[in-house]
Structure 1
Amino acid sequence: MIVVGPFGVSVRDEPLNAELQAGLAAVEARLFEATKSDVPFITETAQHLVRAGGKRFRPLLLLLAAQFGDPHAPGVVPAAVVVELTHLATLYHDDIMDEADMRRGVQSANARWNNSVAVLTGDFLFSRASTIAADLGTDAVRIQAEAFQRLVTGQIQETAGPRAGEDPIAHYLEVIEGKTASLISVAGRLGALMSGAPESVMNVMALYGERIGTAFQLADDVLDIASDGQESGKTPGTDLREGVATLPVLRLREMAAQGGSPEDRELCELLDGDLTDDARHAEALARLRAHPALGVAKSDAWSYARLARQTLDPLPDVPAKAALAHLCDVVADRTV
């Protein structure tokens, strides 16, 4: 069993392993090239999170989708760069909104410099992604533009919160379908498109990306509560401190509203209070880690991972399909 890339997907097929390793190396080199500027300070800020590393989950998914066509087609690696640059740009902007101090184990850009530098760097990365996409054809430009619209829509929906009478969990799932799953879906769709794979494969990979993207974010929600920060590179409980109600919190509130225990309601009150206080934050984090709601959120992540695996059924039985199926387990296993 061979482990490919920072995300750790296992590939048993030696030729596929070699192609993925080469593809990821080419993407990495192009990322550094794409984030260079004639202004040295812009290069420094734009490469800040590139140098910090990352799972390169979206490029890996794109390269696997390309295996159902010609994986060596000239647009495959540039498309992977477009997707990863777009993702990196959203991280700069997200950290401003969350007032985050850490990202990928290093200082966030807004903490190291300031909000203005971070937001402008994110804009710079978006512009570089769009420039590369323009060389890939009108379909690629349209797909990226639609994804950008969904990303922004999801962020606005999160900021606005659920409408009166709307189920908070349904609203949250809609938010992450926009904020996270949409770009992962694009990775699958572009990989198939750039490789010349049949439209049926492109449709399967787009849906697979939506589902595994949702599982990916739900697993991150669990990690924000349960991990020590090594997996995500973020300070544990960041969303909690900022008052962002991720799935474990929403599941807790649902349980409390459906006749939960006094302890459930007490924990909800604690979460609704001022969690910028370190002692209150630590207490809330410890109690939520021990609460059954966290286990329910883990089950939710696994459910979407299983749906993603089922989506692959129509694809031919080739090594890339097996790797994509294993990727579902890797995503959900992070919650264990």
Structure 2
Amino acid sequence: MGDLQARLANGLAAVETHLRQVITSDEPFITEAAAHLLNAGGKRFRPMLVLVCSEYGDPDHPHVVPAGSAVELTHLATLYHDDVMDEATMRRGAVTANRRWDNSLAILVGDFLFAHASEVTSTLGPEAVGVQARTFARLVKGQVRETIGPRDDEDPLRHYLSVVADKTGSLIATSAYYGAHLSGASPEVVTTVTEFGERIGVAFQLSDDVIDIASNSDDSGKTPGTDLREGVPTLPTLLARRSTAPADAELVRALSAPITDDAEVAQVLAALRVHPAMDEARAYVQAESDAARGLLVGLPAGEATDALHELCDRLASRNT
């Protein structure tokens, strides 16, 4: 695994350099605003997955690093737009762009990043452009469905899980696809890692839902209790809202609308942390992680497959 770690470190450094080249504009403000979230850090999970999956083919293929840059630009663009939609004030421990400047500028910077993600993707060939377009469509569909909420005849939990698949799973699946496909991996490997990417992406988002409730610290870099304050559903809250126990009536009522009072947010968080819904949510995450891990049996043995197994292990450890 040591050799792979060194290659991944070098690859991520190359992606970082490429990202900064791409977002540089002849308008200094655009460069500053586009670099705002880039400078705030982040795990670079999507470029890392591109690099890992490129190991199934030629990891030195010249399209691999631009592909990693394209998926991260797309991800960053969605964060600018999401923060406007959510009226968020903090992201990755930094003030959001919409808070630092305003909503209009944050939207425009997100559009700028989407445009450059498309430009980079265009250098990867027409098939990659089609994949990017379909992924973008899923990202938008997920945001629209989250905004309008479930239909009257639709189960809220099923609706939420489909939103997570579109908003999170789709781009992570594309990351895995780009890495394997562009490096020349076999069609069987490409299909498997793409499905793995969608599964593990959904699992990580659901795990974040659990952590956002269970953790006493602000691990995500967001303002604690943001989703509760905005009435945004997450896996634990949707499961808790299903309860018909008389003792949960007040909690269910509180979770049915945005919570604006800080003291009430603290009370609801405390109640959720000891609620059976948390164990049920963890079981959902574990099931999704197990499904992702099960796909790996069809992949060639080696450092890349070991790294994907390690992703599943990390998910299991952060979900306890």
Q: Deviations over 1:20-50 (max 9, x none)?
A: 1110111111111111111111111100011
Deviations 1:128-173 (A, max 9, x none): 1000111110011111110000000011111121122222111111
Distance 2:98 2:2 in 1: 42
Q: Does 1:204 align with 2:188?
A: no
Q: CA deviation at 1:239?
A: 1.1
Q: Is the 8 A contact 2:210 2:281 kept in 1?
A: yes
Task: Output one character per residue of 1:179-202: Cα deviation in whole Å (capped at 9) or x when no partner.
Answer: 000000000001011101111111
Instruction: Identify unmatched segments of 5+ residues in structure 2.
Output: none
Match among 116, 119, 139 for residue 128 of structure 1: 116
AA at the equivalent of 1:21: A
Structure 2 residue 286 is matched with structure 1 residue 276: no
Instruction: Tell me the CA shift for residue 299 of structure 1.
Output: 1.6
TM-score by length of 1: 0.93
1:308 matched to 2:292: yes
* Matched AA of 1:170: R
Q: Distance in 2 between matches of 1:195 and 1:241?
A: 44
| Among 12, 29, 35, the residue aligned to 2:17 | 29
**Aligned match for 1:107, one of 69, 92, 95:** 95
Alpha-carbon shift at residue 230 of structure 1 (Å): 3.8
User: Structure 1 residues 284, 314: CA separation in 2 closer, same or farther (over 3 Å shift)?
Assistant: same
Q: Aligned pair 1:141/2:141, yes or no?
A: no
CA contact (8 A) 1:201 1:315 kept: yes
Q: Give the Cα separation in 2 of the matches to 1:110 and 1:223.
A: 25
Cα gap change, 1:139/1:265 in structure 2, threshold over 3 Å: closer, same or farther? same
1:244 aligns with 232
- Gap runs ≥5 in structure 1: 1-12
User: Hey, what does 2:310 align to over in structure 1?
Assistant: 326
- Taking a change above 3 Å as real, the CA distance of residues 274 and 308 of structure 1, as seen in their structure-2 partners, is closer
Rounded to whole Å, the distance in 2 between the matches of 1:252 and 1:230 is: 22
Tell me the C-alpha RMSD between the 2 structures. 1.2
Q: Which residue of 2 aligns with 1:8?
A: none
SS at match of 1:244: coil
Contact 2:241–2:255 (Cα < 8 Å) also in 1: no
The partner residue of 1:15 within 3, 27, 39 is 3
- Measured after TM superposition, the shift of residue 316 of structure 1 is 0.6
Post-superposition, which runs of at least 4 consecutive aligned residues in structure 1 deviate over 6 A? Answer: none
CA shift for structure 1 position 274: 4.6
* Alignment partner, residue 175 of structure 1: 163
CA contact 2:218–2:224 (8 Å) conserved in 1 = no
Which range moves more in the overlay, 21-30 or 69-78? 21-30
Asked if the contact 1:226–1:236 (Cα under 8 Å) also holds between the matched residues in 2, the reply is no
Match of 2:154 among 158, 161, 166: 166
Q: Which residue of 1 aligns with 2:27?
A: 39
Counterpart residue number, 1:294: 278
Q: Supply the distance in 2 between the matched residues of 1:110 and 1:226 (Cα, whole angstroms).
A: 28
Q: Secondary structure at the match of 1:312?
A: helix
Matches of 2:276 and 2:285 in 1, distance apart?
15
Amino acid at match of 1:253: R
Which residue number corresponds to residue 180 of structure 2? 192
Task: Please name the residue that 1:6 is paired with.
Answer: none
Using the TM superposition, give the Cα deviation of residue 97 of structure 1 relative to its aligned residue in structure 2, in angstroms: 0.8
SS at match of 1:74: coil
Query: How far did 1:14 drift?
Result: 2.1
In structure 1, what is the Cα distance between the partners aligned to 2:139 and 2:15? Answer: 23
2:59 match: 71
- Equivalent position SS for 2:56: coil
| Cα deviation code 1:277-315 (max 9, x no counterpart) | 222222212211221211211121111111111111111
1:27-86 Cα deviation digits (max 9, x unpaired)? 111111111111111111100011110011111111111000000000000000000000
Alpha-carbon distance, 1:273 to partner:
4.4
Partner of 1:235: 223
Q: How many residues align?
A: 320
Q: What is the TM-score when the length of structure 2 is the normalising length?
A: 0.97
Structure 1 position 229, deviation (Å): 4.6
Task: State the SS of the aligned residue for 1:272.
Answer: coil
Q: Indicate the percent of aligned positions where both proteins have the same amino acid.
A: 54
